[in-house]
A = this chain, B = another copy of it.
Amino acid sequence: MREQFKAQMGQLNETLIAEAKAAAKAMSRAATALADANLSKAEKVIDADKHIDLLERAIDEMGVSLLARQTPVATDLRVVVSGLRLSATLERMGDLARHVAYVARGRYPEPVVSGEVRDLLLQMAEHAKIAGEKMAKLIETEDLALAHEIEAEDDLLDELHLRTFDYVLDENNSYTRQEIIDIVLLGRYLERYGDHAVAVARRMQYVVQGLHQTTDPFAKVDLTEVAN
């Protein structure tokens, strides 16, 4: 039983690492698709997304099975519970990379967006890619120093994102309507990808360090306050 438990925990962890790597690779390819108007990379992102969905479901089922049959405690329990949460976030990151790829594919063979704002978006894609890679490495190595680096990448993404609006709001810059839509949506997708990487980083801090929970969670929620 104990042997099997250890093997299953290992498998859960491996699957999570695989999902994280897939979500990181999706953004890496989407960034290339965007930068080089590379149709085959865009299509790879779109095709590969179903694998990420599959991994999410697998992790879910493994987690529920472990909870039902093995009653993990302490660190193992944190790993399983966090796996359920992380798998959903990683799946979402894959979706966002897919949305970026859709835009690249939709404009092909033209590049997406022109002018100076294009550089901003490509920088955003590059930093989203780095955040994703650091995130996958964090899940694999549990090196929490990476968590801070991910937060820094996300701060940069937020800053670049705000600057895209300055370009769009300046009526002197001429864009087609399609370009404006692409700038706004790409900015949103890439910024959200960074947010999710940060959410993963914070959850990994919880996995590795545990929660310093000092109070009884059943003693402290006042539901009257939220009713209004």
A residues contacting B by CB (< 8 A) are: 7-8, 11, 14-15, 18-19, 21-22, 48, 51-52, 54-55, 58, 61-65, 67-68, 71, 73-74, 77-78, 81, 84-85, 88, 165, 168-171, 176-178, 180-181, 184-185, 188, 211, 213, 216-218, 220-221, 223, 225-227
Chain A, interface SS category = helix
Report whether A218 and B11 are in contact in the complex, using a CB–CB cutoff of 8 Å: yes
Q: How far is the CA of A85 from the CA of B225 in the complex (A)?
A: 23
A168 — which chain B residues lie within 8 A by C-beta? 177, 180-181
Q: How far is the CA of A157 from the CA of B211 in the complex (A)?
A: 39
Which of these, B14, B51, B68, B77, contacts A77 with CB under 8 Å?
B68
Can you tell how many copies of this chain the complex includes? 2
User: A90 to nearest B CB, angstroms?
Assistant: 12
A52 — which chain B residues lie within 8 A by C-beta? 226
Q: Please, which residue of chain B has its CB at the minimum distance from the CB of A14?
A: B223
Q: Please, which residue of chain B has its CB at the minimum distance from the CB of A68?
A: B77
Known: A64-B217, A88-B88. 5 other contacts (CB 8 A): A14-B223, A15-B223, A18-B226, A55-B221, A64-B78
Which of these, B65, B71, B188, B225, contacts A217 with CB under 8 Å?
B65
A54 — which chain B residues lie within 8 A by C-beta? 221, 226
User: A187 to nearest B CB, angstroms?
Assistant: 10
